[in-house]
Amino acid sequence: MAKNIGFVSTRFAGTDGVSLESAKWAQMLWEDQHVSFWYSGRSDRHPDVSHCIPEAYFGHPENIWLMDKIWKRTHRSRLVTERIQDITAYLKNTLYEFVDRFDIDMLVPENALAIPMHIPLALAITEFLAETQMPAIAHHHDFHWERTRYAINAVTDYLEMAFPPIIPNISHTVINRAAQEQLSLRKGISSMLIPNVFDFANPPPQPDQYAKDVRAQIGLRPDDVFILQPTRIVPRKGIEHAIKLVGRLGNPDKYKLVISHDAGDEGYEYQNLIEDLAREENVDLRLISDRIGDVRQFDANGKKIYTLWDLYPHADLVTYPSNYEGFGNALLEAIYFKVPLVVNRYSIFIQDIEPKGFRLVVIDGFITNETVSDVRRVLEDPKTRRKMVDHNYRVARQYYSYRLLRRCLRTVLTSVTGYQP
């Protein structure tokens, strides 16, 4: 029997992991005739299937005020508690409205019960599920104990209550084994591991007319080597390793390091450090965040705005030297577009991804002579490059395909509702 499924989060918009993976879940559920609806504070989903409540967005002024009062301190005032409770009550009412409006049968909280970017929303979801006993599948991408910025706080009671809650009608899913182990250890909660996936059954199309001029538009010559760092400029991305690597290649006229996104909401100190390091290492660094958006469009000056996916087919190499990732969507994206990769062995990569047998240039926290030699060989030997990317695509199709996601969702849906497609 088909279900009406309500996805709930602070935001369903853009290219963040939650927005992308939830859309893939909805696609797989649709193939089994389940209809998805969306509750969030900001949304790019169709209005006919969306319930958009501005106060549910983590960037809403009220929530920003609360966040300032509860992190990096160990005491909260009575006023803060009252505001949390007031917003929780309001959001819980809007969840009831959402469920009534679309006749929802089951909720899928998307990371809202894992990372405490919006505490009242998590409390509202928890209370709603406790009151209604509606079945739910909580999709956890990253937990608060994985981020040091949440270590000192004035809301340990709320973290214990709702991140995630221990309620019998919730089934829990995680995206890596470390999260699965920690969730069991810290909360006594069992979970299903559902990794992030791509549609490896259908290779990506060749660049269309809109995206054919990407290299020229970002200032690259036809014979330049386009090395792409497809991330925001934040410390955990380890971009200094990419700069060191390109510097060791030793030809700034040929090798160009392109970073797709800016620093975002984490400040510009690290970006300034990266730019200074690039000058010291004589690296031609291109920051093109002003040309990259969630959707294709033209800016106020008539320049094309590209998506990240417009860049991959033109890249000669992708650097992914992260110190930590919850999974690593950019890694799968590069494999999907058959671009060779340089990867730092972050913990989730070591535990979940590396054993699958991908052929990558790997570093272990620093650039070695062997790293530089391996990169040169990949860039200069088309046969080696082709064998590498084709092998990686086959491995990813086996372990990270939509087929795997479809099977996992059918299993967890059956455990929650008893329904079998």
How does DSSP assign 47-69, residue by residue?
GGGEEE-GGGSTTSHHHHHHHHH
Under the banding of pLDDT at 50, 70 and 90, the label for residue 419 is: low
Instruction: Give me the chain's average pLDDT, please.
Output: 95
Alpha carbons within 13 angstroms on the beta-carbon side of residue 126 total: 22
Domain range list for the chain: 4-197+402-417, 214-399
Q: How confident is the model at residue 220 (pLDDT cuts 50, 70, 90)?
A: very high
The CATH number given to 214-399 is 3.40.50.2000
Residue from 10, 25, 338, 367 nearest 195 by CA: 25
3-state SS assignment for residue 360: coil
* Residue 412 burial (CB count, 10 A): 17
Count of other CB atoms within 10 angstroms of residue 40: 28
Provide the CB-side half-sphere exposure for 327 (13 A, CA): 22
Predicted confidence at residue 131, as pLDDT, reads: 98
In percent, the amount of the chain with pLDDT more than 70 equals 98
Averaged over 28-38, what is the pLDDT? 95
Confidence (pLDDT) at 17: 85
Which two structure tokens, joined as six digits, stand for 131? 């009151």
Positions of E strands within 251-290: 255-259, 284-287
Q: What is the predicted pLDDT for the residue at 420?
A: 58
Same fold, 4-197+402-417 and 214-399: yes
Write the CB contacts of 222 (distance below 8 Å, at least 6 apart in sequence).
215
- Burial (Cβ within 10 Å: 0-12, 13-18, ≥19) of residue 229: buried
Q: What is the pLDDT of residue 69?
A: 97
pLDDT digits (tens, 9 = 90+) for 107-122: 999 999 999 999 999 9
SS3 354: helix
Q: How confident is the model at residue 126 (pLDDT cuts 50, 70, 90)?
A: very high
Of residues 265 and 346, more confidence is placed in: 346
Inform me whether the pLDDT recorded for 149 exceeds 80: yes
What is the rounded average pLDDT of the residues 404-413?
94
The answer on pLDDT for 246 being more than 60 is yes
Q: Is the pLDDT of residue 376 over 80?
A: yes
Do residues 378 and 343 touch, judged by C-beta distance below 8 A? no
Q: What is the pLDDT of residue 347?
A: 92
**CATH superfamily label, 4-197+402-417:** Glycogen Phosphorylase B; (3.40.50.2000)
Instruction: Please give the average per-residue pLDDT across 145-152, as a whole number.
Output: 92
Position 32 pLDDT exceeds 60: yes
- Average pLDDT for 117-143: 97
Percent of the chain surpassing pLDDT 90: 91
Q: Is the pLDDT of residue 265 over 70?
A: no
Cis-peptide, bond into residue 164, ω within 30° of zero:
yes
Each residue of 61-92: pLDDT tens digit? 999 999 999 999 999 999 999 999 999 999 99
User: Is 80 exceeded by the pLDDT of residue 293?
Assistant: yes
Residue 421 has pLDDT above 60, yes or no: no
R_g over Cα of the chain: 22
pTM for this predicted structure: 0.90
Q: What value does the mean pLDDT take over residues 396-419?
A: 90
3-state secondary structure of 335: helix
Rounding to the nearest 10 degrees, give the CA dihedral for residues 51, 194, 152, 40: -10
Q: Is the pLDDT of residue 282 over 90?
A: yes
Return the SS3 of 40.
strand
Which pLDDT score, from 0 to 100, does residue 223 have?
A: 94
- Give the tokens for residue 318: 């992708």
* pLDDT the model gives residue 157: 97
What is the distance between the alpha carbons of residues 156 and 238, in angstroms, rounded to a whole number? 31
Q: Rounded CA gap, 137 and 64, in Å?
A: 27
Residue 385: helix, strand or coil by DSSP?
helix
| Residues 102-111, mean pLDDT to the nearest whole number | 98
**Could you tell me if 114 and 163 are in contact, meaning their C-beta atoms sit under 8 angstroms apart?**
yes
